[in-house]
């Protein structure tokens, strides 16, 4: 019963966040109203307020969820695999079809474009990314205890920073596949980590 209830809550949270994201992408953040988000998700405004304190938080939660998928993918990689390889594969897992976690096609591209065009989203986005980076650092530390906590969290920052830089670069140039650009950026960022871990 508890597991089913949590699954329902997670699905409701996802539907609210996706509705907010879709409306903001289509009409601009200023036009989005919480009652319309709730209506699109088939719940009440009060239910929205039980999950999120603002439309900005709802949208930013999608990025946190995406990053959580990367953390889960890292935890599932083979124990004997080098940490750099595991991190590359964990990040790239979210770029492979089917789109992980029920997120729409091209979510990352469209999400980053929305954040870039809507300054009101940037604070919530940075908060969400800080939490995700902390969780990734904790997972790296558990996987490779010899790194120690500081180096594990530095490595998490390197990986998340490289992914963000790759997406920004790709959005400006639109050449090749986004996943290939992310892989290349991670290769640059992680060069040398295998020898020091």
Tens of pLDDT, residues 79-94: 899 999 999 999 998 7
- Whether residue 30 is contained in a domain is answered as no
Residues of the chain with pLDDT > 90, as a percent, come to 57
Instruction: Tally the domains of the chain.
Output: 1
* Torsions phi, psi for 77 (to 5 deg): -70, 155
- Going by C-alpha positions, the residue among 87, 69, 62 that lies closest to residue 77 is 87
Tens-digit pLDDT profile for residues 98-149: 555 677 777 777 888 888 888 899 888 888 889 889 999 999 999 999 999 9
pLDDT at residue number 194 = 61
Cis (ω within 30 of 0) for the bond into 21?
no
- Helix axes 119-143 and 55-75, enclosed angle (nearest 10): 20
Measuring CA to CA, which residue among 7, 37, 6 is closest to residue 21?
37
Task: Tell which residue, 183, 132, 180, has the closest CA to residue 157.
Answer: 132
Residue 136 in domain: yes
**32 within domain boundaries:** no
Q: Is residue 153 part of a domain?
A: yes
Does residue 17 fall inside a structural domain?
no
- Indicate the pTM of the whole model: 0.80
The CA-atom distances, in angstroms, between 178 and each of 61, 69, 78, 131 are 22, 18, 25, 24
CATH number at residue 123: 1.10.357.10
DSSP letter at 105?
Answer: T
65 occurs within a structural domain? yes
CB 73 within 8 A of CB 89: yes
Domain extent at residue 136? 55-196
Is residue 4 included in any domain, yes or no?
Answer: no
The answer to whether residue 182 sits within a structural domain is yes
Q: Mean pLDDT in the chain?
A: 88
Q: Which residue has the tokens 């963000």?
A: 164
pLDDT tens across 173-192, in order? 888 888 899 999 999 999 87
């Amino acid at each position: 019963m508890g597991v089913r209830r949590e699954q329902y809550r997670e699905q409701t949270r996802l539907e609210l966040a996706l509705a907010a994201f879709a409306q903001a992408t289509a009409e601009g953040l200023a036009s989005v109203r919480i009652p319309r988000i709730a209506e699109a998700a088939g719940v009440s405004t009060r239910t929205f307020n039980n999950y999120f304190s603002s439309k900005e938080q709802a949208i930013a939660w999608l990025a946190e969820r995406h990053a959580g998928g990367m953390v889960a993918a890292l935890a599932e990689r083979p124990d004997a695999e080098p940490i750099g390889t595991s991190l590359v594969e964990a990040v790239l897992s979210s770029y492979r079809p089917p789109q992980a976690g029920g997120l729409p096609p091209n979510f990352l591209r469209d999400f980053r474009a929305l954040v870039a065009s809507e300054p009101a989203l940037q604070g919530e986005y940075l908060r969400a990314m800080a939490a995700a980076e902390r969780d990734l650092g904790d997972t790296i530390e558990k996987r490779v205890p010899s790194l120690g906590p500081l180096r594990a969290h530095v490595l998490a920052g390197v990986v998340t920073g490289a992914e963000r830089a790759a997406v920004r670069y790709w959005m400006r140039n639109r050449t090749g596949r986004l996943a290939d650009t992310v892989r290349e950026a991670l290769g640059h960022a992680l060069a040398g980590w295998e020898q020091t871990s």
